[in-house]
Amino acid sequence: MKRLRKVKILATLGPASSEEAVIEKLHQAGADLFRINMSHADHEHMRTLMKRIRNVEGRSGRPIGILTDLQGPKLRVGVFAEGKVSLDVGQDFALDDDETPGDASRVHLPHPEIFRSVEAGDRLLIDDGKLQLKVEGCDGHTIRTKVVAGKGISNRKGVSLPDTDLAVSVLTDKDRADLDAVLESGQADWIALSFVQRPEDLAEVRKIVRGRAGLMSKIEKPQAVQRIDEIIELSDALMVARGDLGVEMPVESVPGIQKQLTRACRRAGKPVVIATQMLESMISAPVPTRAEVSDVATAVFEGADAVMLSAESAAGQYPVEAVEMMAATARKVERDVNFPSIVYAQRPQPDPTGADAISLAARQIAETLNLKAIVCYTSSGTTGLRASRERPQTPILALSPVIETARRLSVCWGLHCVVTEDASDLDGMVDRACSIVHSEGFGSPGDRIIVTAGVPLGTPGATNMLRIAYIGSDGLTGI
């Protein structure tokens, strides 16, 4: 299955897309990997979805990535005696540790960590910002606030604290149980971490995961944006979770932050996923708005590795059509006459390493000589990541003997991943590269390709060789 685009598509599974037949249609329509949201999936359902994805993978012959998204801390107010109350701008309102049902003057807040962390002047945003409170003081048991905006509040609405650095673990008890189940399944390629605030949040999870899956940090807090370089360094990938980010920060700042994070990840050579509300109207409509198409196009023009569908594919009425629309938009953008100059203008400088030097040389040679493909042998995935970081015009085939590596690389820009046995010698490696380029439809006899690998063969992270080869009449190396 040869994709005619570079950017990847991550589709969320849910009630509208849990059946194996629908998952297969989503994959055929363009989904390169699938997200399982642990906020809505129990362990049995998670394992069922994973099995169905692997069944589709087996029939398609293409590695498919699986991302499990941990719920993270969910901060909510308690309940009200009458279910909801009306409030006026300027009035006093308290949040306290008293479990008695609330009224128009107060409500229970069952989160001791907030009482320990909040300070006067901090904002509390309730129900995705529909109610805004400003803290006037806290004595450890009661947070005194004044209503800044909004008209009311009801039971168990969510609480966001954009100005507060909460002393809370990135993993709740539910997350720990979910993470254990995910790792026990052995099928997850990526773990998405919610509520990341600081680089230290990742250290705890890395000790548990121990390399069994890639760690994708969801950026949805202002505190994370402020320490983004440190977080990127400790993450394997980033997700720009624009929905929550737009609640915690001024919504007009989100587009600039999206560009900032995309470019920071490109510099670091880490995959970046743009997520939330990309084709939101397709939850209930067969076609998106023009603004939504432009939003997807902006992410593609910026060189993001992947774009994500949430409710559109999980609970919408048109999940397959949403994937098809996203794929069609990406293909159109990547063929636009302005695409090369925009995406390549942000190409980062290579790091002073052999792997980066080889990847840079491979791209330059491939584009100068108009070669049909760049083929990189990658066991750990590092060589594929560095090749993708260059954002070449030439197709990239990432060949790996490790299926887990191929699945994990399915999120990376431009990589066409193929699982194949490792070569035993240099000539065999080049022959296999030529054969796969031919059989996968990227080249024909007489075409030239460039091959990169690490010598000795199979040495992780030691890319130090490149070679130009012809595809012969038999599909192998020509003279």
pLDDT for 331: 97
Tens digits of residue pLDDT in 305-352:
999 999 999 999 999 999 999 999 999 999 999 999 998 888 888 888
Tokens standing for residue 232: 């990127």
Which CATH number applies to 8-72+170-335? 3.20.20.60
Give the whole-angstrom CA distance, residue 283 versus residue 463.
Answer: 45
Contact 228, 252 (CB under 8 A): no
Which CATH number applies to 84-160? 2.40.33.10
Give the whole-angstrom CA distance, residue 137 versus residue 94.
Answer: 10
Give the whole-angstrom CA distance, residue 102 versus residue 304.
Answer: 45
Contact 338, 40 (CB under 8 A): no
Give the whole-angstrom CA distance, residue 264 versus residue 194.
Answer: 19
DSSP 122: -
Give the whole-angstrom CA distance, residue 135 versus residue 471.
Answer: 69
Give the whole-angstrom CA distance, residue 477 versus residue 235.
Answer: 39
The CA radius of gyration of the chain, in Å to the nearest whole number, is 24
pLDDT for 204: 87
Using CA atoms, how far residue 372 sits from 363, 368, 388, 435, in Å, is 11, 11, 16, 13
Q: What is the mean pLDDT of residues 47-63?
A: 97
Residue for token pair 């009200």: 80
Residue for token pair 């990341």: 196
Tens digits of residue pLDDT in 415-470:
999 999 887 788 888 999 999 999 999 999 999 999 998 777 666 666 778 999 99
Phi, psi of 166 (to 5 degrees): -75, 135
Tokens standing for residue 331: 């293909």
Give the whole-angstrom CA distance, residue 102 versus residue 320.
Answer: 44
Contact 158, 76 (CB under 8 A): yes
Tokens standing for residue 299: 């992410």
pLDDT for 299: 97
pLDDT for 478: 57
Phi, psi of 171 (to 5 degrees): -110, 125
DSSP 426: H
Nearest C-alpha neighbor of 363 from the set 344, 335, 346 = 344
Tens digits of residue pLDDT in 70-128:
999 889 999 999 999 999 999 999 999 999 999 999 999 999 999 999 999 999 999 98
Give the whole-angstrom CA distance, residue 100 versus residue 82.
Answer: 12
Contact 388, 32 (CB under 8 A): no
**Phi/psi-derived region of residue 79, left when phi > 0, alpha when psi is between -120 and 50, beta in every other case:** beta
Give the whole-angstrom CA distance, residue 479 versus residue 475.
Answer: 12
Single-letter amino acid, residue 221? K
* More confident position, 252 or 344: 252
Asked which of 63-72, 143-152, 197-206, 309-318 is least confident by mean pLDDT, the reply is 197-206
User: What is the pTM for the complete model shown?
Assistant: 0.93
Contact 231, 199 (CB under 8 A): yes
DSSP-derived 3-state class of residue 381: coil
**Residue 125: CA count within 13 A, CB half-sphere:** 16
Tell me the residue ranges of DSSP E strands in 209-363.
214-219, 237-241, 272-275, 306-309
Spatial CB neighbours of 428, under 8 Å, sequence gap ≥ 6? none
> Does pLDDT of 376 surpass 90?
yes
Single-letter amino acid, residue 189? D
Residue for token pair 């950026």: 219
Residue for token pair 């994708």: 216
Strand pairing category for 131-138 and 123-126: antiparallel
Question: What is 354-470's CATH superfamily?
Answer: Pyruvate kinase, C-terminal domain (3.40.1380.20)
Single-letter amino acid, residue 442? F
Contact 212, 408 (CB under 8 A): no
| Helix (H) / strand (E) containing 329 | helix 319-334
The interaxial angle of helices 43-60 and 20-29, nearest 10 deg, is 50
Q: What is the mean pLDDT of residues 297-312?
A: 97
Residue for token pair 């330059």: 364
Nearest C-alpha neighbor of 83 from the set 104, 67, 68, 99 = 104
> Does pLDDT of 374 surpass 80?
yes
Q: What is the mean pLDDT of residues 184-190?
A: 97
Contact 56, 27 (CB under 8 A): yes
**Taking the domains of the chain in order of start, what are their residue ranges?**
8-72+170-335, 84-160, 354-470
DSSP-derived 3-state class of residue 451: strand
Q: What is the rounded average pLDDT for all residues in the chain?
A: 94
